[in-house]
A and B are shown apart, each in its own frame.
Chain A
Amino acid sequence: MRRNIMVKIIIIFFFLFLFLYLLYPTIKFNYLMSSTAKEDLKIEDPKAYDKLIENSIKLGLDLQGGMHVVMEVDIEELAKALARNKDERFEEAWKESRDIVATEDRDFLTVFAQKLEEKGADIARYFGTKSLKDQDEILDYLRAQGSEAVNRSLEILRNRVDQFGVAEPTIQKQGNKRIIIELAGITDPQRVRGILGQTALLEFRLLKDQQVTQNVASKINEFIQGEITETDSLEKEEPKDTTVVRPEELFGEAEETEVDTTEKDSLALEREKLFKENLFFAYPGDPQRLLVPEENEFRLKKVLEDPAIQNIIQTEGGDSEFMWGKLDPNGEYYGIYLVEKEPELTGETITDALPQPGSGYDPGSFGKFEVSLSFNDEGARIFSRVTGANLNKRLAIILDRKVHSAPTIQAKIRDGRARITGLETMEEAQDLSVVLKAGALPAPVRLLEERTVGPSLGKDSIRKGTNSALIGLLLVAIFMIIYYKFSGFVADIALLLNIIILMGVMSYFHATLTLPGIAGIILTIGMAVDANVLIFERIREELDKGKTVWSSIETGYGRALITILDANVTTLIAGVVLYNFGSGPIKGFALTLIIGIVASMFTAIFVTRTIFEFLLQRKILTKLSI
């Protein structure tokens, strides 16, 4: 029996430490770290920073402020945009169908086809081609265009998400025509809509020659090297002197002398922290592509913004800039390319992009995949000139300021048809064609739902929510002690453990804490004592019958167990249904409720019982104060 209890106690402490451990990142991130410490960690060790964030409980948009937008591809506008030879009958049918779907829950395309038929118009007249004649085929084609428009919008948003400057953006597809966007800290839906509405910026830019790229790279490395040793030696020589020459003065940008040494000091310090050796490497397989280890991304972006570095790029590389490519498939390195500042050609001139398998005539592309491009007349003319003048140079395809690929110009292309070859998979070719077409056509989308919460309301909510939780917890705890005396105190321990478990589980699942979620926690505090109340009332009844303390506890817990199970299962069912019904914040509420109930069963039944048994066995307790 005694050993049995020790095992139980060990289990309880195991859980206590486990959940405290799970909760630690949240506490550390939200309470122990200053904002500058966070910023430093972000630069110094981005992996640790990401991990810390990932392991903390996330705050919902309603608590940290931000924007939640649901968008839908406007199939009506899309159908209109894709139609040719539009006449009066088309316009009428289109308007009537649009009015119908606005009030009834029906599929626009089906209604539209029906309306056209009623008016005696053949749908093939507007959408048909040689291969598309049948009505069903045309409807399928339009639907496919619709889902492609969703993918295009997703691609555009993902490509441009950097512009929002958001830490953890959520861009998701919901169903087959909706997109959910969640951006923390942004409260201007106009921006999202603007970004989606405009055509993507597709550019073709020439890569700088191999020698130039390598030269710029080594000059930057030298500069960084110098910067590091210089600060080192300065610190060694005159550690306390704050009026020493700062890097800014060395490079002639800071002309003021001793204006505000402390401010300048911290600025300089910020800057020095950024520089580190080996921010990027040359890649032997591709001398025009520099490799940047993933963890250096943030740091290098800041370094490249540095005026001194900018200066080096301009003097050594001419009119050029570094542009970022994709992360390699292993997720270890980014490629960066030194490209001309002026684009040779932009995306408006592209009329179509099709993914296809590599042609068998070309040994280089056999077994691989490619994208074939068509340009309009103007585009074809420019493309022909550019390719003719730059044979064997490399032309970077840049979408929204991100290098997608940088193929070599193999021949002068006169007919306005180009192929991007050497892609490994069909998916890759498909993605690229979506990207290329994205530059050609804006995605017709409309906002279905937008919710923005200002940061001040979020802070307000956290403060009020936390306060209510603490007050509620305190009141319930005090009541339990008054009503059940020592046993009430034991129940309070269980309650506290309950909250630790609840928060720990939320940390573990990286759950998002929302305002209704906080309400759920508060409600849990009130309801969690229920199990203990049931048990204690039962024990009192047994004691009233004149039973001993031991047997009262035994029977009390035993009898109450069934009641607790039956009663909690019903609340659990309601919670699970709610979780499936709700969106964001409501899910948060349901989740806290569900975890809270399960945790309360464990703490009330197992933990309090173990405490009682332990105390009685050790004779610390001989009478039950209940």
Chain B
Amino acid sequence: MRFFRNPTYKFMEVRKAAFLISGALVLVSIISLILHGGPRYSVDFRGGTFMEVRFEDKVDPEKSLNINIGKVRQVFDEFGLGSAEIKHYGSLQEISIRADITENTDEIFHDLVKKLSEDFPEYNVIEMRKETVGPKVGKELVVAAVLAILWATVFILIYIMWRFELRFGIGAVVATIHDVVVTIGIFSLLNIEISIAIVAALLTIVGYSLNDTIVVFDRIRENFKTLKREAFDYTSMINRSINETLSRTIITSGTTLLVVVVLYFFGGEVLKDFSFALICGILIGTYSSIFVASPILVEFEFRKKTS
């Protein structure tokens, strides 16, 4: 079985359109981030408390329930936590709570759960998870996360410059920044929180996207060597390299996407945003290695010729 038999797509001919699309994606992402006042941080970074509570029927724990958020909110109002964000989490019988408090959270939530059990006497109220992060730690983590992504990019750039050439490095890094920015943009547009797990996903995307780009670059480097003696057109050489690696690009992206989609649907609520970030990243990363990284090489070549 083969998806592509000697494909001859003219990718580089549409690079102007691709630049426009990529530019638009980045622009929309940045605008969304500006409008939302930066990424929406989870309690990991912002400080605060996150709690997950599950309701189970006392008689039949397997029975699926529909918990009325309004009724839960009333309890929170009584505790002076009206500003807390309360919503269904994963299923209708689980709720998540996000509040800005960081002091004495054990006591407060202990009392809350008790009150909830009284108000919902037919259900067992189970505390699934609770995370409290002080604002100081949150700030430190933002710095650490940004530094981590920066360092990863710098190290990889150095590696590519060593193995390839500067322009390859620039192409790869621009493509990677593009992927990270657009993924964060999608999260901002969909109003999904950036947690530590999402930062991990972003770093994985950095690695994955570069992996993809380098396979194409590697073929360009190889073809460049073998074709050097013949007269050849730079653009068509790059087209040819992308086409030669197209099968591999699609299949690897496909299998990776496959497992991540499985993780998204079967991995549980905790990993949902994480796997969603990876899904976005893999799609964008595959796109960018063909339509962002490689066209930059072509642009470099043209600039060199005209100057």
A interface with B by C-beta (< 8 Å): 62, 70, 102, 105, 187-190, 193, 446-454, 456-457, 460-461, 464-465, 467-468, 471-473, 475-476, 479-480, 482-485, 515-516, 519, 522-523, 525-527, 529-530, 533-534, 537, 540-541, 544, 559, 562-563, 566-575, 577-578, 580-583, 585-586, 589-590, 593
Task: State whether B137 touches A448 (Cβ < 8 A).
Answer: yes
Task: State whether A451 touches B159 (Cβ < 8 A).
Answer: no
Q: How many A-B residue pairs have CB under 8 A?
A: 214
B131 proximal to A (CB < 8 A): yes
Q: Which of B135, B163, B210, B259 contacts A523 (CB 8 A)?
A: B259
Chain A residues positioned under 8 Å from B105 (CB to CB): 450
Task: State whether B215 touches A461 (Cβ < 8 A).
Answer: no
Do A519 and B256 contact each other (CB < 8 Å), given the known contacts A451-B131, A567-B211, A586-B200? no
B80 proximal to A (CB < 8 A): no
Chain B 192-206: CB-based contact to A (< 8 A → 1; otherwise 0): 000011011001101
Task: State whether B207 touches A571 (Cβ < 8 A).
Answer: yes
B132 proximal to A (CB < 8 A): yes
- Distance (Å) between the CB of B1 and the closest chain A CB? 5
Bound Cα distance A453, B266 (Å): 20
- Distance (Å) between the CB of A78 and the closest chain B CB? 17
Chain B residues positioned under 8 Å from A454 (CB to CB): 126-129
Bound Cα distance A530, B214 (Å): 13
Q: Which of A187, A460, A525, A530 contacts B127 (CB 8 A)?
A: A187
Chain B residues positioned under 8 Å from A577 (CB to CB): 148, 151-152, 155, 203
Bound Cα distance A187, B51 (Å): 13
- Distance (Å) between the CB of B80 and the closest chain A CB? 20
Chain B 163-183: CB-based contact to A (< 8 A → 1; otherwise 0): 100000000000000000000
Task: State whether A448 touches B134 (Cβ < 8 A).
Answer: yes
Task: State whether A589 touches B200 (Cβ < 8 A).
Answer: yes
Chain B 97-116: CB-based contact to A (< 8 A → 1; otherwise 0): 00000000111001000000
Bound Cα distance A448, B110 (Å): 19
Chain A residues positioned under 8 Å from B152 (CB to CB): 573-574, 577-578
B83 proximal to A (CB < 8 A): no
Task: State whether B207 touches A447 (Cβ < 8 A).
Answer: no
Q: Which of B8-16, B67-75, B247-255, B292-300 contacts A (4 or more CB under 8 A)?
A: B247-255
Do A519 and B267 contact each other (CB < 8 Å), given the known contacts A70-B137, A448-B137, A468-B262? yes
Q: Considering the complex, which residues of chain B in the window 234-262 have a beta carbon less than 8 Å from any beta carbon of chain A? A: 244-245, 247-248, 251-252, 254-260, 262
Chain B residues positioned under 8 Å from A559 (CB to CB): 222
Bound Cα distance A589, B263 (Å): 14
Task: State whether B148 touches A581 (Cβ < 8 A).
Answer: yes
Bound Cα distance A74, B148 (Å): 29
B130 proximal to A (CB < 8 A): yes
Q: Which of B17-25, B34-42, B268-276 contacts A (4 or more CB under 8 A)?
A: B268-276
Task: State whether A456 touches B155 (Cβ < 8 A).
Answer: no
Task: State whether B274 touches A449 (Cβ < 8 A).
Answer: no
Task: State whether A516 touches B197 (Cβ < 8 A).
Answer: yes
Bound Cα distance A483, B1 (Å): 5
Task: State whether A570 touches B207 (Cβ < 8 A).
Answer: yes
Bound Cα distance A569, B214 (Å): 10
Bound Cα distance A32, B207 (Å): 38
The 9 closest A-B pairs by CB, nearest first: A574-B207, A472-B259, A581-B148, A526-B256, A571-B207, A526-B259, A464-B268, A570-B210, A577-B152
